[in-house]
Amino acid sequence: MESHTTLTTEEVIRIVNRVVVEEFEAEEDRLRPETHLREDLDMDSLDGVDLVVALEVAFEFRIAEEEARGIRTLGDVYERVQRRIDTL
């Protein structure tokens, strides 16, 4: 993977969406910033843990539990991943 510090917002979105499609068999055309993980993608709390682990593998950094707790939408995921990349 390329250096995380060079990832654009569009690249972050593409990678997050790929993880969601591959790990949770979501339909890519349903993935928008306003998509709710629980209501729209039927993810439960265990799926949320699996998502965090898959994102940590994809981006090669840890996501703090406190940050993960506040994730409700894909937009939340995009924002937290981008913020984490910006601090590397």
List pLDDT tens digits, range 47-76: 999 999 999 999 999 998 888 888 999 999
pTM of the entire structure? 0.90
Fold of 4-86: 1.10.1200
Is-contact 48 37, C-beta < 8 A? Answer: yes
Residue 3 predicted with pLDDT over 60: no
Is-contact 73 31, C-beta < 8 A? Answer: no
pLDDT at 5: 61
pLDDT at 4: 55
Q: How far apart are CA 35 and CA 2, in angstroms?
A: 27
What backbone phi and psi angles, to 5 degrees, belong to 39?
-70, -40
Is-contact 15 84, C-beta < 8 A? Answer: no
The domain ranges of the chain are: 4-86
